[in-house]
Structure 1
Amino acid sequence: MTASAVTAMDYIVTFTSSHFALKAESALKKAGMASRLISAPRAISSQCGFCLLLENCDCQDLANKLELLTVAFSHIYTRQLIDGVKHYAQQD
């Protein structure tokens, strides 16, 4: 794997219910963080089937913001595109 083969890293946040996913999306939007509600990728598990995608975000900052906004989440994953293949890694 070369440095040129690695592209920008994204973060995915999973939730235990769609209610929490929608609440998180709204809270992050109000806090000025761009997120997008997507179907959970097959490679990772989400109990409700939805997750939030945040592109080019600092993971530690994201976890702190979710905590401050009192948003309950299950896990945070990185999503990295390497040589055209998406790779996921749990961060918490």
Structure 2
Amino acid sequence: MKDSVSISIDYIITFNSSHQALKAESKLKKAALIPKLITSPRAISSQCGFCIALENCGWPDMASQLEQLNVEYTHFYTRQLIDGVKHYEKQD
């Protein structure tokens, strides 16, 4: 028998304004996630300068989850650590 494999992904979500970022943080907390409001990484440009990091998130279809929660965002990225360097890949 094979063990069930759970997929965990790090996401970074960007916003047009800090107000949207704070509102999204609240909605994601209510959805039983642990969002971290952080300054936007240099590799990602964000209009408001803030973004939300969701580490080890078990939501493989982030776009549909954000839509269901009515979270307004500009982009979302996956984040991987490769040889000690964080790499970001735009998903939308």
> Which bin holds the TM-score, normalised by the shorter protein?
0.7 to 0.9
Structure 1 residue 68, shift from structure 2 partner: 1.4
Higher helix residue share = 1
Q: Distance in 1 between matches of 2:30 and 2:9?
A: 23
2:24 matched to which residue of 1? 24
Across the aligned residues of Structure 1 and Structure 2, the Cα RMSD in angstroms comes to 1.3
Deviates more, 1:65-74 or 1:47-56: 65-74
Partner of 2:48: 48
Q: Structure 2: which 5+ runs fail to align? A: 1-7
CA contact (8 A) 1:9 1:81 kept: no
Q: Which residue of 2 aligns with 1:66?
A: 66
> Helix, strand or coil for the counterpart of 2:67?
helix
SS of 2:24's partner is: helix
Q: What amino acid sits opposite 1:37 in the alignment?
A: L
- Residue segments in structure 1 that go unaligned for 5+ positions in a row: 1-7
Q: Secondary structure at the match of 1:51?
A: strand
Distance 2:90 2:60 in 1: 11
**How many residues matched?**
84
Residue matched to 1:14: 14
Q: Secondary structure at the match of 1:79?
A: strand
Normalised TM-score (structure 1): 0.84
Which 10-residue stretch deviates more, 66-75 or 45-54? 66-75
Quick one: which amino acid aligns to residue 79 of structure 1?
R
Partner of 1:5: none
